[in-house]
Chains A and B, each alone.
Chain A
Amino acid sequence: MTIFWILTAILTALAGLLILTGARRGAARLAAPDDAETDRLSGARELAELDRMKARGLLDEAAWTTARAEAGRRLLAARRAEGQLAVGPRDGLWVLGGVGVTAALALGLYMVFGAAGYGDQPYQKRVAEWAANPQGLDPSQVAAVLTEVVRKEPDDALALSMLGAARFEAGDTVGAASAFRRSLTLKPDNAQNWARLGESLVRANEGRIGPDAEAAFVEAVKLDPNQLGARYFLGEAALARGELARGEAMWAPILAVLAPNDPRRPELEKLLADARAKAQK
């Protein structure tokens, strides 16, 4: 915070210094060619210009004469009779006063509109803070930490799986699928990751089980027939297509494992019953 105010003071002082330099240069201008001189030079240049244009054939003789007359009269009439430049004894006070008012204005407005004391929050710093205190982070923060870990070690399959899980929790289903996919490229024999990949794809697709999700679930069950989550989705997809036998085969282990009073049991049984009824029609 102190450093901030020091920087602020330095910037303001620099501005003031520039202004004072400018004021001093302005005082030196009194010795430099004044407006009358500038006008004289411009006038001379203008008349020489007309002569050159005539020499080049851009003005014919008659035109040159009248153009010169117009310009000459205008120049003679405009010879400055204006007031000389004048400096006063209290100019320095005026300038300093102005600088002071400006600085006060800037500071005052900043106090109203700024957020003094609010430090920078670079992304890397925040992620490092989260990595140092993993307790109490919400899923998106965990995902951010893991993204950094994975960026440093792209071949860490475990970190990728965890990243996928975190992103899934955080609601970034597309990112979760991408992470699971990368993990599976490194370690294809992880049945749970296949199942999670499938689930991410399903959720990304708003609950619809597409062919790719289904393929992922098939892979999961192939590696580990006890992947109940995968079995559930495969069964659901099968029943939706009307493949009753496959649906029953998929769900049988689930029904076997569920406790008799598990609330999910009646739902599954009802779905199976509906499918059977439809098959018989």
Chain B
Amino acid sequence: MIVEFGSYALILSFALSVFAMGMATWGRIRRNPVLAGAASAGLLASALAIVVAFGSLIFAYVTSDFSVANVALNSHTDKPLLYKVAGAWGNHEGSLLLWCLVMTAFGAVLGLSRGLPFGLKTSAVAVQGALSSLFLAFAAFTSNPFVRLDDIPVQGNSLNPLLQDPALAIHPPLLYAGYVGFSVCFSLAVAALIEKRVDPAWGRWVRPWALASWAFLTVGIALGSFWAYYELGWGGWWFWDPVENASFLPWLAGAALLHSAIVTERRGALAGWTVFLSILAYSFSMLGAFLVRSGVLTSVHAFAVDPERGMMLLAILGLAAGAALILFAIRAPAIRSMATFAPVSREGMLVLNNLFLTAAAATVLLGTLYPLLLEATTGATISVGPPYFNAVFTPLMAVACILLPAGPLLAWKRGDAKGAVQRLRLALVLAVAGAGLAFLLFDPKKALAASGVGLGLWLVFGAIAEVAERTKLARAPFAETLRRARNLPLGAWGMALAHAGVGIFILGAVVETTFKVESARALPIGGEISAGPWKVQLKDVKIIEGPNYLAEQGRLAVVDVAGQKRERETTSERRFFPAGGQTTTEVGLDFRGLDDVYVVMGERTATDAGEPAWVVRLYWNPWARLIFIGPALMALGGLVSLLDRRLRVGAGPGTRRRKEAKA
């Protein structure tokens, strides 16, 4: 009964989204607030219905109701409770339901927000309703998670044990909050085109949505990357895999969007860019959904695929993005702003930022889709992998990062380039010194890696220089600096944090990739292996039993070769899951400051003497911590910026507005 109730709720949600779309369209045409109010409430009702539906699906998973085809295919009574629940969104239908949940929820928030002009809000509600209707229709009629089975199996088919992991359980909700958050930016952009008005007020409504979505996406992607790093067992954290690229595209577009929206919010300039990027960001999200679920790309983490559904997703993408882009082409001249600025100015730097990020997105898009397109047109098959991206993407972003610190130090409309460079002198000196030190101290000596270190330091010191400039550090009495720091708006702190985060990420990425050491050997009990400055000894191996697996667990002692640091123990396991017959490895991670000592237990074999031995792979990943701290700082910076008072007015129930109106 509960399952069927959920099934009904899903269909009701679809009907309510259609209602909202229709009512909002009619309300906008007649400029009737009663109809518009009904439409906004329709979005809210649609969201509540989906919450009911999703709750029913989770109920079915928790009670292991195998009459639901989705549960029978993706669950098992032996799975721990957390993974039964996470299994609800670990498959195509369930995750699509989650996508719809986030979309309708954000639509409800949009519907509840005050302070937007009538025309803009009603048009945005109509567009959001249209998008929700499309995706809800896709979910309800082609990928319905509530399909029942007549012949109920005794036991489920078990979720892939690789996916039974806490990081991976939380990864989809965060990612979808990011992807789908951009749908509101999309709706606001299309609404602005319909209303033929893009001005600073519109910029201020779009910015919080862009910031929040981008921050969620940053955390989601970083979490996925971290999971790959500690779960898959070969120490990589980014493979330029097509599915990874599919999530990276909206991130790049979103980063460009949130910067472009700043210019629109402050000066009303770059109206066309901001609207275009809003459309692009969500189009990339939809493109990603299509690529991952259609089977068109080969990847280790694509969903179980169905080309027919893929075609339908492509149709939705074509319809939504196509209509929006055509509208943009038609209305672009109408929204052109009068605001002018010199090429050397903050706006100019942000234009450059837009260019570079868009070109980076184009690179990733080309690299991901080119093999497909080439094969479709000429039949030739090529592969595009990390060497291509390293050759094209990395230099592009490196140039952008070199220019980055200058941006916040330039004035609006017409900036003083010499002054900005002057203020960055110290940061430059420190960065070059850091690069030099890196070259001399790290072994083997690599000039490219040293310059990468310099670039990362340049960004970090540049961010510090920003804050120092605003608070007149060392140029005024300390009390004055403190006062300025306290009064500095959160947006400034957020910017400094996020930019520093980029620098820290670059430091970690460059050092880890260039200087990591790997070694592998078959070790008997008591055997040793070393990599870089660390040495590992296999102490013992025993069999342990988990809730739904058996494992061989090796206990290893990690100590540095010089013998100075404390010895610590770590364990690594090879797990066997009887229900699905799969074997996975649990990596042993020893966090040593910024570095990771990474140990993987392999297959059982024998030494030449006939003793039982295990293949142990040892990696030393220097500065690996920074690879994940960087994005965390970026997301934190985004969150801090979001809390800035300037942005909060106008993106939610606006009590301030009413106070002002009454005054």
Contacts and interface: CB of A to CB of B under 8 A. Distances in A.
A106 B11 contact: yes
B462 to A, nearest CB: 18
B65 A122 contact: yes
A5 to B, nearest CB: 10
Contacts of A87: 32-34
B413 A18 contact: no
Contacts of B48: 14-15, 18
B115 interface: yes
B602 to A, nearest CB: 21
B414 A26 contact: no
A174 B579 CA distance: 8
Interface in B1-38: 1-5, 7-9, 11-12, 14-16, 18-19, 22-23, 26, 30-38
A243 to B, nearest CB: 22
Interface in B401-419: 411-414
Contacts of B15: 102-103, 105-106, 109
Contact of B200 (A11, A42, A106): A42
B413 A4 contact: no
Nearest to B43: A22
Nearest to B147: A115
A52 B52 CA distance: 48
A82 B117 CA distance: 12
B37 A15 contact: no
A126 B155 CA distance: 11
A115 B413 contact: no
A70 B339 contact: yes
Contacts of A24: 34, 37
B33 A26 contact: yes
Contacts of B570: none
Contacts of A98: 19, 22-23, 38
B610 interface: no
A78 B15 CA distance: 37
A106 B8 contact: yes
Given A59-B411, A102-B18, A113-B141, A42 B38 contact: no
Interface residues of A, number: 88
Interface string B40-67: 1110110011001000000010011111
Nearest to A37: B661
A86 interface: yes
Contacts of B337: 74
Given A102-B16, A114-B7, A19 B118 contact: no
Interface in A1-20: 1, 3-4, 7-8, 11-12, 14-15, 18-20
A34 B116 CA distance: 10
Contacts of A114: 4, 7-8, 11, 146
Interface string B439-455: 00000000000000000
Which one of A78, A95, A143 has the greatest number of beta carbons of chain B within 10 Å? A95
B37 A123 contact: no
B144 interface: yes
B579 to A, nearest CB: 8
B309 interface: no
Contacts of B19: 19, 98-99, 101-102
Nearest to A137: B154
Contacts of B2: 120
Nearest to B26: A94
B456 interface: no
Nearest to A84: B31
Given A41-B657, A105-B15, A4 B44 contact: no
Contacts of B32: 26, 85-88, 91
A66 B41 contact: no
B660 interface: yes
Contacts, number: 244
Contacts of A30: 33
A79 B75 CA distance: 59
A12 B20 CA distance: 15
A245 B65 CA distance: 55
B148 interface: yes
A155 interface: no
A178 B657 CA distance: 68
A85 B31 contact: yes
Nearest to B46: A15
B574 interface: no
Given A23-B37, A67-B339, A123 B49 contact: no
Which one of B19, B36, B119 has the greatest number of beta carbons of chain A within 10 Å? B19
Nearest to A3: B1
Contacts of A23: 34-35, 37-38, 41
B266 interface: yes
Given A58-B411, A59-B412, A95 B267 contact: no
B521 interface: no
A21 interface: yes
B424 to A, nearest CB: 17
B338 interface: yes
Contact of B118 (A1, A35, A49): A35
Contacts of B11: 106, 109-110, 113-114
A26 B36 contact: yes
B65 A120 contact: yes
Nearest to B56: A120
B49 A63 contact: no
Contact of B67 (A20, A22, A118): A118
Given A18-B41, A24-B37, A74-B338, A174 B578 contact: yes
B517 interface: no
A17 B442 CA distance: 68
A2 B165 CA distance: 41
Interface string A236-254: 0000000000000000000
A278 interface: no
Interface in A95-134: 95, 98-99, 101-103, 105-106, 109-110, 113-124, 126
A29 B37 contact: yes
B63 A124 contact: yes
B186 to A, nearest CB: 22
Interface string A123-152: 110100000000000001101100100000
Contact of A113 (B3, B5, B22, B144): B144
A259 to B, nearest CB: 38
Interface in A167-226: 174-175, 178
B338 to A, nearest CB: 5
B44 A22 contact: yes
B563 to A, nearest CB: 41
A161 B388 CA distance: 59
A73 interface: yes
B394 interface: no
A121 B486 CA distance: 60
Given A41-B657, A95-B23, A141-B154, A83 B38 contact: no
B281 interface: no
Which one of B4, B66, B115 has the greatest number of beta carbons of chain A within 10 Å? B4
B33 A11 contact: no
Contact of A26 (B34, B49, B119, B578): B34
Interface of B: 1-5, 7-9, 11-12, 14-16, 18-19, 22-23, 26, 30-42, 44-45, 48-49, 52, 60, 63-67, 77, 111, 115-119, 140-141, 144, 146, 148, 152, 154-155, 197, 199-201, 266-268, 337-340, 346, 411-414, 578, 657-658, 660-661
14 contacts: A7-B5, A11-B52, A22-B38, A25-B41, A32-B661, A38-B115, A42-B199, A42-B201, A46-B201, A73-B338, A78-B197, A106-B12, A123-B64, A143-B154
Give 6 closest A-B pairs by Cβ, nearest first: A26-B37, A22-B41, A122-B63, A123-B64, A63-B413, A42-B201
Given A11-B5, A26-B33, A59-B411, 19 more contacts: A15-B48, A15-B49, A24-B37, A27-B33, A30-B33, A39-B117, A58-B346, A67-B267, A74-B268, A86-B30, A91-B35, A101-B19, A102-B16, A106-B12, A106-B14, A106-B15, A110-B8, A110-B11, A121-B66
